[in-house]
Amino acid sequence: MNTGTTSTRWVGRILAAGMTTAIGLGLTAGTAMAVPVARPVAVVQPTQVITPDTAASVRRAWESRGRPHHMAVVRDYRIDLATDGRVTRQVGRASGTVTIADLDRALPSDWLKVTDGTATLDATLVLTPRVALQLGGSGSPVHTVALAGGATQADAASIHTGSGRLAINGITVTSVDPATGQPLPPEAKGRPTIVASGGGRLDITDATINDLGAVSDGTPGADDDGNAAVEFHKGSTGSLVRSTVARGSTGVQLSHSEGVQIDQLTVSDSAEDGLVLAGDEGTTMSGIRATGNGENGVLVSGASGGRPINGISTNANGAFGVAVVGENGTQISAVDTTADQAGGLRISRSTGITVTGYTATDQRLGVFTHVHSSGIVLDGIQTTGGTRGLVVEKSTSGLQARNSTFSGARVAGVAVNGNDITLDDVHVYDSRSAVRVDRGAHDIRLTGLTVEGGRDGLVTAAGTSGLVVTDLAVNGVESDGVRSFTPDARITGAQITGGGTGLDLAAGATVTNSTITAAREGIRSRSPEQVYASGITVDTTELGVNSAQGSPFTLVDSNVHALESVRGVVTQQGANDLSLPPLNLLGAVGVPLILLAVVLEELHTFRQRRLGGATRRRRPPLPMEAL
């Protein structure tokens, strides 16, 4: 073989290979052979780059949101799609507010389907900073968004604002079971939810939210404590305006949120509480209606920074209309509760609570305070019907009820235990017992208490102490105006009219400057301790003062007028007037008896005529001469 020829062939091959390589790199042959310049060669980026940081970010979002099977992280320039926590695809997007149409173009068809105005979403959405998602609104062809779910939390297609913004306007958002096409029940662990995350904003306006949120499994210490249908987390904000949340687990929960506006919100038929306010700050509220929820209509708890609770109406909730637990300095006003199963307002483990403009109708307990609550002021409250109007449990201290009315309670208008309790200008109407002071109560002050109708006025139990009653008015009760078992009770300025017994005293008492009128019995004393009555006036129909054997009774400077003014041993001091009742009182007693006699006579005459009895023969008139 010729050596020169062989060399020439190898040189040609090398040059051809170099040309091919240059062309493959997109360069001309001349350029490939030229001397390289200092400017770097441009490199074309691939269409999809999943960096370790992106993968880790998506993974964290996936783990903190229940590890959903499908998840879309919406960023300001792209959407990351993840399946079971692994990023499988990235889709670029234009800037601006994201809509259902944008999601429809980016998400796989089995993740999002839009049919006849209903968008069915089978993927959790997570927004990032500077991202805004709009569902519904003017001109939107979508009127319903159905979020898929299932038996496990990973099946839930929830929506999280992240640090972005979510607006829901004029549409219905509900859950759907892909297997049945029906909404998911509250016990399904995979029911989706709408979450305003820390730093995010959620605004819901003119919308209906149905069948979202998963209930807690109820296991103490379990990680699964359930999800509300709509949640505002710590540091989130937003609004709920002219909207309805129905058939949720818990309806709406604000947990350490900031400045959320709630206006014209209806929360109904939740499996648990309707609206939960937990440590939220700066919340403003009006026109809230909670009805038919399984537990409390509204539950208020946690340190709240003193935000007011107002503008609430409740009806037919399974527990209390409004429950306040662990609050300090909270102002409650303009709350109207009706026929909740446990009661209207519950105050527990709370201090410095002021309640104004509160009403309760047909409640088992109109207001209930307990578990070491203190410093409570009830001003201008009204309860109607129900079992008890106000119940003050034994661990309550420092409560004042003033300018308030309790009507038609089947058991008691006010039932008091605890200590340092004041009723000031309280009116009780037509209740079985107007005010009951139960065993263990002490330091009870009643000023300006007015009782109208009912069975008993003021009833105090044995084992109570420190009872002071001033300016009591009792009118028309059936039985006792006051029945007291409290030792050393002090009653001043009482005005008792009608009833069976004005004062029934089973323990020592001091009664001064009081009047008992038109009762059957004025004062009955059966106390083994001293009863002291000074400056009293008794005008009764039967018995004035009735002192049982062994009951020391002292009467000072008093007037006792009755058919029997005194019975038993009574020690008298000063100038006492013991006599028959006044003529007007006797007349009041005699007139009914006269009327009864006339009626009986007429009935007798009628019966005689009906039975054909002899009629009375009239005497002939006397002649004029005999006159």
Q: Are 265 and 286 in contact (CB under 8 A)?
A: no
Residue corresponding to tokens 């709406």: 252
- Closest listed residue to residue 163, CA positions, set 200, 135, 193, 138: 200
Q: Are 377 and 358 in contact (CB under 8 A)?
A: no
3-state SS string over 312-334?
EEEECCCCEEEEEECCECCEEEE
The residues that bridge with 335 in the sheet, in sequence order, are 312, 358
CA 105 to chain centre: 44
The residues that bridge with 320 in the sheet, in sequence order, are 343
The tokens of 75 are what? 């960023």
> Degrees (nearest 5) of the Cα angle 322, 323, 325?
150
Q: Are 407 and 383 in contact (CB under 8 A)?
A: yes
Residues contacting 359, CB < 8 A, separation 6+:
335, 336, 337, 381, 382, 383, 384
How far apart CA 26 and CA 10 sit, in angstroms, is 25
How far apart CA 291 and CA 312 sit, in angstroms, is 11
How far apart CA 341 and CA 143 sit, in angstroms, is 36
3-state SS string over 143-170?
CEEEEECECCHHHCCCEECCCCEEEEEC
Give the chain's end-to-end CA distance (angstroms, integer). 192
How far apart CA 206 and CA 414 sit, in angstroms, is 42
Q: Are 536 and 514 in contact (CB under 8 A)?
A: yes
Q: Are 149 and 114 in contact (CB under 8 A)?
A: no
Q: What is the DSSP string of 484-542?
A: E--TTEEEES-EEESSSEEEEESS-EEEES-EEES-SEEEEE--SS-EEEES-EEE-SS
How far apart CA 537 and CA 560 sit, in angstroms, is 6
Burial class (CB in 10 A: 0-12, 13-18, 19+), 586: middle
Sign of the alpha-carbon dihedral angle for 328, 329, 331, 336: positive
> For the whole model, what pTM was predicted?
0.84
With residue 473 as reference, give the H or E element that holds it. strand 473-475
CA 15 to chain centre: 88
19: helix, strand or coil: helix
- Closest listed residue to residue 207, CA positions, set 157, 148, 137: 137
CB neighbours (10 Å) of residue 109? 8
> Degrees (nearest 5) of the Cα angle 448, 453, 454?
110
Specify the pLDDT at position 580.
79
Enter the DSSP assignment of 76: S
Specify the pLDDT at position 30.
34
Output the average pLDDT for the chain: 88
- Closest listed residue to residue 479, CA positions, set 510, 454, 461: 454
Quick one: CA torsion of 52, 54, 56, 62, rounded to 10 degrees?
-150
Specify the pLDDT at position 593.
54
Q: Are 386 and 379 in contact (CB under 8 A)?
A: no
297: helix, strand or coil: coil
Low pLDDT (below 50) residues in the chain: 1-47, 219-223, 583, 586, 614-618, 622-627
